[in-house]
């Protein structure tokens, strides 16, 4: 069996253009909200995780802009917009 490629390595294959600010933000005070924890399960890029304090942490690097977190968690816990013009992932195959 061939070695499984990690998620980070997979995302490293994609073309991303840097944005000056993250287009998704956890709303202040919502880090421990139960709705936000769903993002850990649903994000296809695995960008959400829980730290030792039980808070959900998030990194924008590798975001595929699918919107799954917005749908699973809701806009009460996530401030969600698309990246600025010409920024973010640029699929070559799609």
Partner 1 sequence: MEKDFDVIVVGGGLSGLSAAYTMADAGLEVLLLERGDYSGAKNVTGGRLYMNPVRDMFPDLWKKAPLERYIAHEEVSIMDKERSITVRYDGSELAQEPYQSYSILRGKFDKNFAKMTEKKGVSIVTKSRVDDLIIENGKVEGVRAGGEELTSNMVIACDGVLSLLAEKAGLRKPGVAKDHAVGFKEIIELDRTVIEDRFNLEGDEGAARLYMGEVTRGKFGGGFLYTNKESISLGIVVGIKDLTEEPFVQAPDLLDAFKQRPEVACLIKGGQTSEYSAHVIPEGGYNSFSKLYGEGILIAGDAAGFSMNIGVTVRGMEYAMATGYYAAQAAIKAKEADNYSAAGLAVYEKLLNDSFVMKDFKNFKDAPHALDNPRFFNRYPQLAGDVMRDLYEMPNGPKARIYPTIMKYIKFSEVFAFLKDFGGVRKI
Residues near partner 1 (CB under 8 A): 1-2, 4-5, 7, 10-11, 13-14, 17, 38, 40-46, 64-68, 70-72, 74-75, 81-86, 88-94
> Where do the DSSP E strands lie in 1-94?
16-17, 24-26, 48-50, 56-58, 78-80, 88-89
Report, in Å, the least distance between residue 48 CB and partner 1. Answer: 10
- 85 contacts: CB under 8 Å, gap ≥ 6: none
> Residue 12, SS3?
coil
Closer CB to partner 1, 29 or 86, in the complex: 86
Report, in Å, the least distance between residue 52 CB and partner 1. Answer: 19
């Amino acid at each position: 069996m061939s070695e499984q490629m990690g998620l980070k390595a997979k995302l490293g294959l994609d073309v991303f253009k840097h944005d000056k600010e993250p287009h998704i933000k956890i709303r202040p005070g919502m880090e421990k909200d139960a709705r936000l924890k769903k993002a850990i399960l649903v994000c296809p890029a695995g960008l959400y995780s829980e730290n030792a304090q039980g808070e959900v942490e998030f990194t924008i690097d590798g975001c595929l802009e699918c919107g799954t977190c917005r749908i699973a968690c809701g806009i009460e816990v996530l401030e969600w917009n698309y990246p600025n013009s010409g920024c973010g992932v640029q699929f070559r195959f799609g």
